[in-house]
Structure 1
Amino acid sequence: MRKPLITFLILFGAVTMNACKKEEQKAPGNPVINIKTEFSSAYFGDSLQFTVGVSDEARIPLSTLKAHLYYSDELVSETVIRTKTEGDYTGKIYIPYYAHVPNGTATLKLVLQNINFTTREETLELPVERPDYPYLTLIAEDTEYRMERTGLYTYAAATTFPAKVNGYIKTPAYGDNGNELTFGWEEHTIKEGSINNIPFSNAFSGDYTIMFNTLNYEASPFIIAYAINQTVMDRVDDNMYRVDLALNREEQVVIDGFDDLDAWWFDPDFFTRDASGNLLFQAKSGNYRISADFNHEYFIVEALTGTNLSTLQADGSGAVWVIGEGIGKPSIATNAVGWTTEKALCMAPVADKIYQITVVAGTTVSASDINFKFFHQKGWGGEFTNAALSTTSDLIFVGDGSNGRDPGNLGITEGQTLETGATYVFTLDLTGGNDNGVLTVEKK
């Protein structure tokens, strides 16, 4: 009978000891925070370092130390440090940089927790202000531009820019705890922390200023425009823009605002490129209308007298126009002129009373069949008949009404064709008078 009693006492003692241990483990404990960093102030964009001593008066093992940062009542940043043992722990908390947030006082809350979920909190006030950077850097695709401080939170880069500058903005690190910050393009607005290119754009390339404000994120310029020689083109419709300009022969022509300009076709009668790739005007100095045809991706050039399209004058000055079949720019396949007068092509005035049009057989002119003629205007009216036009060309003949072409209409001589891919220059010389035009056709 003694053995069961001893067994009972042993079991009772074990249960009692386990219960005591459980009660001991369930003791809430008393976490203690000892802040060892003086938080005097910080800047937006800082990574603020701090050191905190942690312990528990009841020797309950610790779990975590959390740092929470609040702007007003909004939690904007936090960091968590695992605290396995008592001692000093060092961490960092980021001071977020946002638009429109004024200088003020943030709240830093430190929360220490032990394994029994008992916590201790310490709350501190942290004065925070916006950095006053000495400069910013605009990082474009292949160039960096320094943006100088022009006032509180305002910065500007003033230099020679292309019409479109795609880039993001970077700050230097500011103060002892500062970071380099970036500002880029997100959902059609400027956002901190992004390096997506901001689509700065001006009406023209040249000297202008790019600006940015680090408080409200206002920036400029954002001008979506097409321009030639710094003159903005007027919208005719969704697919046509135009501008009237005075142009000089061999003058550089600067075209701005077009994303894919390399894909556009340039009329060789009016444009050429120099060794540096600059676009040069090739026709006689004067007034011209340049129209950007987005449907066909080429620039239509037409001579002007004042603000009106030029017509042929009695003295041979002005302009000569081409209307008819088998010719078209930038190609006959996509934009043949035909007898649609609105599509009439203006011949380039290359000298006094001398006009030319350059074509490529099989591309801008038919290699086997043409039927176009020269007109005094862009439309019906005065025209060159065989009575006023002659040629000594073996390839091209002038119609007389009985040779297969109407009077003045051009054709390809029977048995002849133009060489596909070859360039031909049609030159109309009116120095002998409008009634004595001479056509030459030169293969280049």
Structure 2
Amino acid sequence: MRKLINYSYLLMLFSILVGCKEEFIVPTGGGSPTIEIVTKPNAAFFADSISYKVKVADQGVDLSTLKVELLYSEDVVASQTIRTKEYGEYQGKLFVPFLKNVANGTATLRFTVQNVELTKTEALADLPLTRPDFPFLNLIVEGKTYKMLRKAANQYEVSDNFATKVNGYIEAPAFGANGNAVQFGWDGEAITQGVTANIPFSNIIEGVYPISFNTMTYQASPFVAYKLNGEDMTMVAEDVYSIDMDMDKDQELVFEGLQGLDTWWVDSDFLRKDGDKFLFNAIKGRYRITADLKKKYFIVEAMNGSNLASLNADGTGAIWIIGEGIGKPSVASNEVGWNTDKALCLAPIGGKKYRVTVVAGTSIRANSINFKFFHQKGWGGEFKDADISTTSDIIFVGNGSNGRDPGNLGIVNGKQLEAGATYVLEVDLSQGNNKAVLTVNKQQ
């Protein structure tokens, strides 16, 4: 027994000694790396590629990395890391970013060399920077280039016979011996540098007009400002603008910037026309109103605060349609299908009732439908056959064995909706969310 104990003690002591030896194999804090800046630019322009060369060494300790950084004020805007296996000279290039609203000034080049024991040495150098004074810019529209001439410091403009919509990006040519071309494009909300996504320039009328851009502020024109009741609508996609707004029954909607509204399709569930006026047709609440300039109609969706509304437990909120055979302004151009992003919001009309109005052969197929009512704009809560019923003699609710999945609507065999006739589908939740009643009425 004593021998076993002794052997165990020796093994433990050996393990401790080996562990201690391993800790000393990789020491930290040793060495004294040095760095000498051999060459660097005395000054540069924004958008330049700047070259540098440095010499690094240490006192017998292996080096690890050289990190080169460019700082505007205290912010690192560009960096590069080089492995330094050997003592000696290393060189590279660093891009000087072109940024909005950054004035001429002095940046800092920071060189940091680190050895394998994590000891660092740093060297700093000033780098005066100047914004390029481009002689011109290029506006590139569908492969065609328009030269934008310099009108003042940072200000450029081109006039030509343009359409009302001009989608293109702007490119500044390389400036100076070390310069790079700079692209200015659209990030979804504003103009930024380094992208070529088209900027959605727009004008009220087509013809000869100027397009301008400022390379300091990134301000550009023209952009038609679309407004509803004095508030700006936000671009959410090309030719699609949206705004969230509190509305009241019979409140007037005053649109600014939108042309030819007399030719737009009007969704009578949410809007109605009184002469040249648009009046709101649903109950008081918050709604998202989206103008689709291509399809020339307004999409109206119920909101709950900043989110799209869903059905509440008490029967208030919203009901949505997802499925086949229905679409606004027409099935042919914009069928909902099973794409939840295109779900249709029924208009809340009060009393926990919701309405959708359709025209057979236009916004609803006359002889074949297969859609369902949902609690939200997306998958989740839905009205199955146990939750909704109807006494309609032309539209039925599927139960899984009658030609439609549970809750999906269909046209009764041997019947069809009258082409060109207007039908009002109304869902009544006054008796509860699982006792919904669907009525289908043809307008006379």
The alignment's TM-score, normalised by the length of structure 1, stands at 0.50
Letter aligned with residue 336 of structure 1 = E
For residue 413 of structure 1, what is the aligned residue in structure 2? Answer: 412
Q: By how many angstroms is 1:294 displaced?
A: 2.4
| 2:294 partner SS | coil
Letter aligned with residue 250 of structure 1 = D
For residue 270 of structure 1, what is the aligned residue in structure 2? Answer: 270
Q: By how many angstroms is 1:277 displaced?
A: 2.8
| 1:333 partner SS | helix
For residue 242 of structure 2, what is the aligned residue in structure 1? Answer: 242
Q: By how many angstroms is 1:342 displaced?
A: 0.4
Matches within 5 A, 1:266-305: 266-274=266-274, 276-305=275-304
For residue 87 of structure 1, what is the aligned residue in structure 2? Answer: none
For residue 177 of structure 1, what is the aligned residue in structure 2? Answer: none
| 2:333 partner SS | helix
For residue 361 of structure 1, what is the aligned residue in structure 2? Answer: 360
Q: By how many angstroms is 1:417 displaced?
A: 0.5
Cα-to-partner distance string for 1:14-36 (whole Å, 9 max, x where unaligned)? xxxxxxxxxxxxxxxxxxxxxxx
Contact 2:227/2:257, CA 8 A, preserved across alignment: yes
Matches within 5 A, 1:101-180: none
Distance change (3 Å), C-alpha of 1:358 and 1:298: same
Cα-to-partner distance string for 1:228-271 (whole Å, 9 max, x where unaligned)? 11111001121211000100001111111112222221111011
Deviates more, 1:330-339 or 1:252-261: 252-261
Contact 2:204/2:224, CA 8 A, preserved across alignment: no
Q: By how many angstroms is 1:414 displaced?
A: 1.0
Letter aligned with residue 310 of structure 2 = T
Q: In 2, distance between residues paired with 1:424 and 1:330? A: 15
For residue 312 of structure 1, what is the aligned residue in structure 2? Answer: 311
Q: In 2, distance between residues paired with 1:304 and 1:375? A: 15
Q: In 1, distance between residues paired with 2:204 and 2:428? A: 46
Q: In 2, distance between residues paired with 1:396 and 1:280? A: 31
For residue 324 of structure 2, what is the aligned residue in structure 1? Answer: 325
Letter aligned with residue 375 of structure 1 = F
| 2:317 partner SS | coil
For residue 209 of structure 2, what is the aligned residue in structure 1? Answer: 188
Report sequence identity in percent. 55
Cα-to-partner distance string for 1:355-395 (whole Å, 9 max, x where unaligned)? 00000000000000000010000000000000000001011
Q: In 2, distance between residues paired with 1:416 and 1:260? A: 39
For residue 257 of structure 1, what is the aligned residue in structure 2? Answer: 257
Letter aligned with residue 304 of structure 1 = M
Letter aligned with residue 364 of structure 2 = V
The alignment's TM-score, normalised by the length of structure 2, stands at 0.50
Distance change (3 Å), C-alpha of 1:314 and 1:222: same
The number of residues matched between the two structures is: 231
Q: In 2, distance between residues paired with 1:377 and 1:285? A: 19
Letter aligned with residue 242 of structure 2 = R
Distance change (3 Å), C-alpha of 1:413 and 1:254: same
Q: By how many angstroms is 1:165 displaced?
A: 9.8
For residue 54 of structure 2, what is the aligned residue in structure 1? Answer: none
For residue 339 of structure 1, what is the aligned residue in structure 2? Answer: 338
Q: In 1, distance between residues paired with 2:244 and 2:365? A: 31
Letter aligned with residue 246 of structure 2 = A
Distance change (3 Å), C-alpha of 1:422 and 1:187: closer
For residue 425 of structure 1, what is the aligned residue in structure 2? Answer: 424
For residue 403 of structure 2, what is the aligned residue in structure 1? Answer: 404
Q: In 2, distance between residues paired with 1:423 and 1:287? A: 27
Q: By how many angstroms is 1:186 displaced?
A: 9.6
Q: By how many angstroms is 1:282 displaced?
A: 0.3
| 1:418 partner SS | coil
| 2:252 partner SS | coil
Q: In 2, distance between residues paired with 1:414 and 1:227? A: 47
Distance change (3 Å), C-alpha of 1:186 and 1:237: closer
| 1:188 partner SS | strand
Cα-to-partner distance string for 1:300-320 (whole Å, 9 max, x where unaligned)? 000000010000000000000
Matches within 5 A, 1:386-401: 386-401=385-400
For residue 382 of structure 2, what is the aligned residue in structure 1? Answer: 383
| 1:438 partner SS | strand
Q: In 2, distance between residues paired with 1:187 and 1:361? A: 44
Q: In 1, distance between residues paired with 2:374 and 2:204? A: 44
Cα RMSD (Å) of the superposition?
2.0
Q: In 2, distance between residues paired with 1:307 and 1:352? A: 24
Cα-to-partner distance string for 1:64-102 (whole Å, 9 max, x where unaligned)? xxxxxxxxxxxxxxxxxxxxxxxxxxxxxxxxxxxxxxx
Letter aligned with residue 188 of structure 1 = Y
* Structure 2 runs not aligned, ≥5 long: 1-202, 211-220
For residue 229 of structure 1, what is the aligned residue in structure 2? Answer: 229
Distance change (3 Å), C-alpha of 1:258 and 1:314: same
Q: By how many angstroms is 1:295 displaced?
A: 3.0
| 1:342 partner SS | helix
